[in-house]
Amino acid sequence: MPDTLTGRRRSLLHETRCQTCSLSSLCLPLALEVQDMDQFDAIIRRRAPLKKGETLFRQDSPFTSVFAVRSGSLKQVTTEGSGEDQLTNFYLPSELVGLDGIDEARYPGTVVALETTTVCEIPFDRLDSLSESLPELRTQLYRSMSKELRDDRRMMRLLSRKTADQRLASFFAGLSDRFRRRGYSPYSFRLSMSRADIGNYLGLAVETVSRILGRFQSQGLVAVSGREVHILDLEALTQVAEEEGAK
């Protein structure tokens, strides 16, 4: 694939410049000035889209880059010792994947595309040096990591104090919110993950997920058909998620 590609490559690059990216207000360069954004843009490597089921990187492979999701979605799965897999995160557009690999210089989980997915690869060493001269970028990086820490704490609370009903209600309310922030409908979306994925993530058996979804449906909270979801009563759902008298 020689030079002929360069032209196409460039136009692809153009299409995917941060400045023209619809996610720029949510993504890492969010606070950068135009000229700084160009610098940032320059270190990014575009990638061919991942197809459903393809892996972005594998657990324990050397950490080189973080990735920003442009479109689609991914899951992170960690296999530890003899135990079962644990699905530790779903990633949606504008979110940063791989930050937990910095410390040990290897990725602590395998990340797999749940649907056709495009990502921007950001080599970490270059991001780090660039963050030296661009304080806003550095701040944003600290903030991204800090936010992930906060989200993790919320997840721990969910896993240790919430009933199955509350977990699922939280999950759907959370998804709804994440879609809304990205400009999609908060009431109507398609799940890219299977029931098994949801169960694994929330610490529930698949059967429990299925049953409770059925109950939510009969209670008029949501309408679910396969992976198509319509949230009918977001307020009630949020209320279930935060209900007093857990467990």
Partner DNA sequence: CGTCAGATTGACAGTGCTCAAGTCCAGTGG
Partner DNA sequence: CCACTGGACTTGAGCACTGTCAATCTGACG
The least distance separating a copy of itself from the CB of residue 59, rounded to whole angstroms, comes to 11
86 touching DNA, by CB under 7 A: no
How far CA 169 is from CA of 23, 37, 165, 195, 232, in Å, comes to 27, 38, 6, 14, 12
44 touching DNA, by CB under 7 A: no
Closest CA to 19 of 5, 7, 33, 6: 33
Q: How many CA atoms lie within 13 A of 61 on its CB side?
A: 11
Its sign, for the CA torsion 109, 173, 53, 141, is: negative
196 touching DNA, by CB under 7 A: yes
User: Where do runs of H (alpha helix) occur along the chain?
Assistant: 4-15, 34-43, 124-133, 135-161, 164-181, 195-202, 206-218, 234-242
234 touching a copy of itself, by CB under 8 A: no
- Contacting a copy of itself (CB under 8 A), which of 6, 11, 22, 139? 139
156 touching a copy of itself, by CB under 8 A: yes
- Contacting DNA (CB under 7 A), which of 34, 35, 226, 244? 226
163 touching DNA, by CB under 7 A: yes
Residues that bind DNA (CB under 7 A): 163-165, 194-196, 203-211, 213-214, 224-227, 246-247
Residues that bind a copy of itself (CB under 8 A): 78, 80-84, 86, 88-89, 99-104, 108-109, 128-129, 131-132, 135, 138-139, 141-150, 152-157, 159-161, 200-203, 242-244, 246
